[in-house]
């Protein structure tokens, strides 16, 4: 079953005197349960593609279709609601809320979804246990290591029960041990829950574990390898 589809996806940035063609005519299908890495050198368009897939930016041409819904048909408010309920995000910079504890950070997205306190706390507690941090529930981000913060970020992304998770260089700020642990955890979640993961990455450890590797070069797909 196709979860993500792009048709003729292109993006041009006009932030300087010379337009920058970040993506050109990208056609892509990503199925449910995939564990996919998008790779390529800096400037190849990886992060741009992830931002377009997540509805964080708008294409210059073409479409992003999520679960049969074209994002360009949604109003701004409907797009925000759609992202909240369908897409999980994990960024390089963790983006945890400093004043909230680990369990409260995970609960936050469910609060936005207007779920009850009891449901939020139950699911957040389960997810903390799933990512190996059950003993750190009451710790704020400053009290957690980088690897632990990124685990909380992954748990938060999963909390909303999204159709897929977009992870933009999630291991970039982690030491080798923390990165391996994080990847083990995400691979296990993918296997157990069928959650679709799409990474943009330079990290060979992510690429090694991916079951599909899509290579971008100068904004175009130059290779698409399924393993």
Provide the pLDDT for residue 58: 94
Cβ neighbours for 227, distance < 8 A, ≥ 6 positions apart? 210, 211, 212, 213
- Whether pLDDT at 87 is above 90: yes
pTM over 0.85: yes
Structure tokens at 76: 């701004």
Give the Cα separation of 26 and 95 in Å (integer): 29
Bridge partners, residue 91, by sequence: 168
Give the model confidence (pLDDT) of 120-150 as tens digits: 999 999 989 888 888 999 999 999 998 899 8
Give the Cα separation of 56 and 79 in Å (integer): 9
Give the model confidence (pLDDT) of 37-83 as tens digits: 999 998 899 999 999 999 999 999 999 999 999 999 999 999 999 99
- Tally Cβ neighbours within 10 Å of residue 99: 9
Give the model confidence (pLDDT) of 161-217 as tens digits: 888 999 998 888 888 888 888 888 888 888 888 889 999 998 899 999 999 999 999
All domains of the chain in start order, with CATH? 2-226 (3.40.50.300)
């Amino acid at each position: 079953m196709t979860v993500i589809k792009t048709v003729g996806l292109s993006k041009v940035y006009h932030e300087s005197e010379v337009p920058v063609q970040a993506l050109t005519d990208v056609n892509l299908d990503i199925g449910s349960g995939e564990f996919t890495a998008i790779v390529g050198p800096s400037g190849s368009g990886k992060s741009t593609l992830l931002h377009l897939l997540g509805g964080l930016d708008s294409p210059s041409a073409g479409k992003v279709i999520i679960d049969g819904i074209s994002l360009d048909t949604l109003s701004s408010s409907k797009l925000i609601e759609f992202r909240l309920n369908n897409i999980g995000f994990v960024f390089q910079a963790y983006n945890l809320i400093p004043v909230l504890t680990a369990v409260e950070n995970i609960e936050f997205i469910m609060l936005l979804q207007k779920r009850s306190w009891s449901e939020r706390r139950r699911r957040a507690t389960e997810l903390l246990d799933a990512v190996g941090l059950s003993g750190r529930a009451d710790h704020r981000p400053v009290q957690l290591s980088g690897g632990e913060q990124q685990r909380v970020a992954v748990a938060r992304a999963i909390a909303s029960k999204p159709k897929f998770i977009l992870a933009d260089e999630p291991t970039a700020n982690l030491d080798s041990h923390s990165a391996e642990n994080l990847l083990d955890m995400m691979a296990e979640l993918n296997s157990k829950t069928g959650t679709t993961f799409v990474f943009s990455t330079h990290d060979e450890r992510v690429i090694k574990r991916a079951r599909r590797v899509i290579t971008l070069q100068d904004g175009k797909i130059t290779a698409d390898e399924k393993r």
